[in-house]
Structure 1
């Protein structure tokens, strides 16, 4: 697999091109309410795994901070399908963007995770690292063949978070801080630390620049149901910006005898 694809509205495509960046979003903005459930389950198991020791509480706080500053963007391994064109229809003017997966590795602090579809996703909560839970989905979505791009704000993992917030966590060896804290007070402590660090919880999007990568967008294809006038408009737009335009999808093209 060397190419990945994203089906978006024309407006999103234009915004992406103008800003020379990808807009990642916090999973809480997605339609599927389960997107954060597995991560939240991991945090709950951390709390429930034993007494509220200082170490246990610190780990819970760190995982919560990581959860709040996690941003994703959905792509697919499918070059096209009937389901994807219909789901991401956008009034018959959606476009398919193609990029090279090798170029994703050139984006700052971005990881590409192949989504795993399971009948019982909760079985993976204790088996995989915290960040990997964002690649778990229910089997009902397997038609998407999703490849998920993930950025962790400025954190690459729990140790990075611990180093970044250590002054607020008071992690000195003899400190009794957090030793007997009640679980109900942990969210307040998370909010306090995030506020001190100026990590805005209201910021649900995160821009990742791709302007430093030559020819990042390999091609653009138009929705097969689009009107011809829009096909002409998109063709001129792509030509203006030097983007390879493939025209309308031929998924439903008439077969000649």
Structure 2
């Protein structure tokens, strides 16, 4: 069954189209694990660095009758993975490829969401799989939203828990994040990670090596990709490439335009 806006509209959160190109920088080790296992790996939001991630579900809910209820069971069932609509920035390479060995992959919202959706729609239901655009808010806005939240609406599913995982502080808005989210209602988050099968040749549109990687490293990576039969175009980012030019200086006293030669 093809993925279309009609049968997944409720599960695509925010102003984002299914055909939107998205990108993710993996460490070389994680990328090699991806292409060898042919499984995409989601992690629990508690593993994300920012303490404001998953802020809503870290709280204790106070019911109308004054009873305090931990949201830990709800929180533990969720897994996610972060992507971006930003093709390339200096900051993204430096943050997510600190060892200068990162690999950026390009896909679309549809291609990464499709395998998850059709793997679990029949067993876990529509409330298990989401893809959404992160909304960036100031710290005070997030705190006020939490204070005004009605616990029962979250617990009873009247407010989408997925939406609470798509809020991040304004300081991170340069990342332009899109997140894929999964709620494991059967195993209830027993594992720290969740993996699902993907067809690499159907999913990956482009593979790009770190701009700071050596020529030898890039060639070895390219050979390994070819060996595994991956057809996505492979290249190295030219973000830092620079070819010095020769310029011609005018004789003393003359005003001549500088031309590249």
TM-score when normalising by structure 1: 0.71
Mapping of 1:8-23 within 5 angstroms? 8-23=26-41
Residue number in structure 1 paired with 2:81: 73
Q: Deviations over 1:147-202 (max 9, x none)?
A: 111011137xxxxxxxxxxxxxxxxxxxxxxxxxxxxxxxxxxxxxxxxxx6464x
Structure 2 gaps of 5+ residues are 1-16, 118-128, 151-158, 246-259
Instruction: Quote how far apart the aligned CAs of 1:219 are.
Output: 1.0
Instruction: Quote how far apart the aligned CAs of 1:101 are.
Output: 1.5
Q: Which structure has the larger Rg?
A: 2
Residue number in structure 2 paired with 1:130: 161
**Aligned-residue CA RMSD in angstroms?**
2.3
Instruction: Quote how far apart the aligned CAs of 1:99 are.
Output: 1.0
Q: In the alignment, which of 204, 211, 215 is matched to residue 192 of structure 2? A: 204
**DSSP-derived class of the 1:142 partner:** helix
Contact 1:113 1:149 in 2 (8 A): yes
**Alpha-carbon distance in structure 1 between the residues aligned to 2:195 and 2:98:** 23
Residue number in structure 2 paired with 1:164: none
**Alpha-carbon distance in structure 2 between the residues aligned to 1:243 and 1:93:** 21
Deviation >6 Å, runs of 4+: none
How many correspondences in the alignment?
203
Matched, 1:108 2:116: yes
Instruction: Quote how far apart the aligned CAs of 1:253 are.
Output: 2.0
Q: Deviations over 1:185-233 (max 9, x none)?
A: xxxxxxxxxxxxx6464x211112113x752111100111111101111
Q: In the alignment, which of 93, 106, 121 is matched to residue 101 of structure 2? A: 93
Contact 1:104 1:112 in 2 (8 A): no
**Alpha-carbon distance in structure 2 between the residues aligned to 1:103 and 1:219:** 13
Instruction: Quote how far apart the aligned CAs of 1:134 are.
Output: 0.4
Residue number in structure 2 paired with 1:160: none
Residue number in structure 1 paired with 2:210: 223
Contact 1:239 1:245 in 2 (8 A): no
Contact 2:43 2:79 in 1 (8 A): yes
> Does 1 or 2 have the higher relative contact order (CA < 8 Å, sep 6+)?
1
**Alpha-carbon distance in structure 1 between the residues aligned to 2:54 and 2:45:** 7
Q: In the alignment, which of 41, 45, 66 is matched to residue 27 of structure 1? A: 45
**Alpha-carbon distance in structure 2 between the residues aligned to 1:200 and 1:124:** 26
Contact 2:57 2:74 in 1 (8 A): no
TM-score when normalising by structure 2: 0.70
Structure 1 gaps of 5+ residues are 156-197
Q: In the alignment, which of 219, 225, 235 is matched to residue 247 of structure 1? A: 235
